[in-house]
Structure 1
Amino acid sequence: MSNLSEVGDRDGWRCWLCDEPVDPDASVNSDLGPSVDAVVPARASKGKGKGAAVTERLAHRACNTRKGAVRPVVPWSPDLFVVDPAPIAETVERLRRKPGREVVARCPSRDDADQAAAWLVDRLSRFAPDLDVTTQVEPGGGQYLLAVRV
């Protein structure tokens, strides 16, 4: 198991769940204090991958506590104009199991879709750093579809 400083330095002192900065000097008992979240791969948690590596990620204590032992909810930025956004954590899990292309949102304009695509690539680079993702914006039906490809 890694120590908190090693995990924090590797993750750039950003919470992997909410993507906000984590203060390395805050008390570990504070809601915004740092904690290490041990992420167990889905297969290992079902007993199918007993030798699977556990990933340690930096999180705020409150985010880690709120998540508990359930799948994390990773919110889309409220600054984006996206319609029917797909749940980010579940999308990442599906693309890890079976790489390919998945439509994750609809946007009313090309500019909105381009902004959402840039944000999503940046967010996934921290949420799932092991996943090499690209995005595609495609027109269709008077709107723009945002897809992720692995």
Structure 2
Amino acid sequence: MSTLREVGEREAWRCWLCDEPVDPDMSVNDPRGPSIDSINTAKKGGKGKGGVERLAHRACNTKKGAVKPVVPWSDRLFVVDPAPIIGVVEQLTRKGGRVAVARCPEKSDAEDASEWLLDRLSRLEPGVRFDTRIEQAGGGYLLVLTT
């Protein structure tokens, strides 16, 4: 088990859930204070338990509790029908392939979303290489994520 400082430094003091900065000097009892989220990565039916320790704000960690965590898309992006990021990452990590993750009205919107998503996923799942493709579809642009 790692210390809070080790996890925080490895994660560049950013919450893995909300992607906002975490103040290492804030009290661990404060909702915006740092906490370690231990994520079980053992596959169903597999033997033993695997896990990853990620940095989260105490409130983000507590809020997710027993429900699946949600990693929100950035409010600055213009995306329609965005897919749930955690679910897509789990699916691609498990099975590989490709998943359409959002539709955008303009190609520049899809390019912005692609750049943001790849940056976000590089911190969310640093051990997995993701790529995106932008495909013209139905008068807009489809953002496709692949492994």
Whether the TM-score (by the shorter chain) exceeds 0.5 is yes
- Once superposed, what is the RMSD of the aligned Cα atoms? 1.0
Structure 1 residues not aligned, in runs of 5+? none
Amino acid at match of 1:147: V
Task: Show CA shifts across 1:96-148 (max 9, x none).
Answer: 11011111000000000000000000011111112100111111111000000
Is the partner of 1:30 in helix, strand or coil? coil
Matched, 1:39 2:36: no
Which residue number in structure 2 is paired with residue 125 of structure 1? 122
Structure 2 residues not aligned, in runs of 5+? none
Q: Normalised by the size of structure 2, how large is the TM-score?
A: 0.96
Q: Percent identity?
A: 62
Which residue number in structure 2 is paired with residue 20 of structure 1? 20
Which residue number in structure 1 is paired with residue 63 of structure 2? 66
Partner Cα distance (1:89, 1:34) in 2: 21
Task: Show CA shifts across 1:68-94 (max 9, x none).
Answer: 132210100011000000000000010
Aligned length: 147
Q: Normalised by the size of structure 1, how large is the TM-score?
A: 0.94
Which residue number in structure 1 is paired with residue 91 of structure 2? 94
Mean CA deviation greater in 107-116 or 67-76: 67-76
Is the partner of 1:83 in helix, strand or coil? coil
Q: CA deviation at 1:42?
A: 5.6
Matched, 1:57 2:67: no
Matched, 1:139 2:133: no
